[in-house]
């Protein structure tokens, strides 16, 4: 009958003899690589992320009165619930002049919340608040705030959001303002200035 067709195997490697094999004559045999001894005094190069020069020792030297405080949506809402005046409470917390800053993203978020949060919107539109324009697409405020404080270390972030706090704690030199016991408190701030710790 007909011959059985043999399927050709593609990409089959031919077994090659190693250049270090004993059967190859001495001249053509590859030399075993000689390990160089490491020089202990040599400078080891590796990629180290550059920290900004303002983070001198462990403190951020760009922070100082008047403090610029980036406000988050929920911070305004919780301040209204706790019946706290934003600017006055910030000054009571830091014992210095405070300029609350609000980004376009946060403003957009408050506007989207609708009629229920009209008081928050009125507070956010206060002329005491400094308006920071956003150049990026979308209105997700958390990413916007994290990106802003990573680039410029001159802000304090005011938020009650646990997730946002967790993200900002990873950035060195950025203090966080939060609400506890019906007053504002601050974490990661040098002890020389700022509210008393509880």
In this prediction, residues 78-88 reach a mean pLDDT of 92
Q: Are 134 and 144 in contact (CB under 8 A)?
A: yes
**Is the model's pLDDT at 53 over the cut of 80?**
no
The confidence band for 42, taking pLDDT boundaries of 50, 70 and 90, is low
Residue with the bigger pLDDT between 52 and 144: it is 144
Q: Is the pLDDT of residue 80 over 90?
A: yes
pLDDT per residue as tens digits for the range 166-177:
999 888 888 899
> pLDDT category, 192, cuts 50, 70, 90?
low
Checking if the pLDDT of 197 tops 70, the result is no
Please enumerate in sequence order all residues whose Cβ is within 8 A of that of 131, keeping only pairs 6 or more positions apart, or say none: 101, 102, 104, 107
**pTM, entire model:** 0.69
**Percent of the chain having pLDDT more than 70?**
75
pLDDT at 18: 77
Question: Which structural domains are found in the chain, ordered by start?
Answer: 63-187 (3.40.50.1010)
Indicate the range of 50-54, 84-88, 91-95, 152-156 predicted with least confidence: 50-54
What is the chain's mean pLDDT, rounded? 81
Is pLDDT above 70 for 3? no
């Amino acid at each position: 009958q007909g011959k059985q067709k043999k399927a050709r195997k593609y990409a089959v490697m031919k077994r090659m003899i190693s250049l270090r094999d004993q059967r190859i004559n001495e001249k053509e045999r590859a030399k075993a690589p000689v390990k160089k001894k490491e020089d202990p005094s040599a400078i080891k190069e590796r990629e180290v992320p550059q920290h900004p020069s303002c983070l001198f020792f462990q403190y951020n030297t760009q922070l100082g009165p008047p403090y610029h405080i980036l406000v988050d949506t929920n911070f305004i809402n919780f301040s209204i619930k706790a019946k706290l005046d934003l600017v006055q409470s910030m000054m009571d917390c830091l014992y210095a002049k405070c300029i609350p800053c609000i980004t376009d993203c946060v403003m957009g978020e408050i506007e989207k919340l609708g009629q229920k949060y009209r008081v928050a919107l009125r507070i956010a539109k206060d002329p005491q608040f400094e308006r920071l324009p956003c150049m990026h697409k979308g209105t997700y405020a958390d990413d916007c705030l994290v990106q802003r404080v990573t680039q410029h270390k001159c802000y304090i972030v005011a938020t009650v959001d646990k997730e946002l706090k967790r993200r900002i704690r990873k950035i060195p030199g950025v203090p966080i303002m939060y609400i506890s016991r019906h007053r504002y408190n601050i974490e990661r701030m040098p002890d020389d200035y700022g509210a008393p710790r509880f």
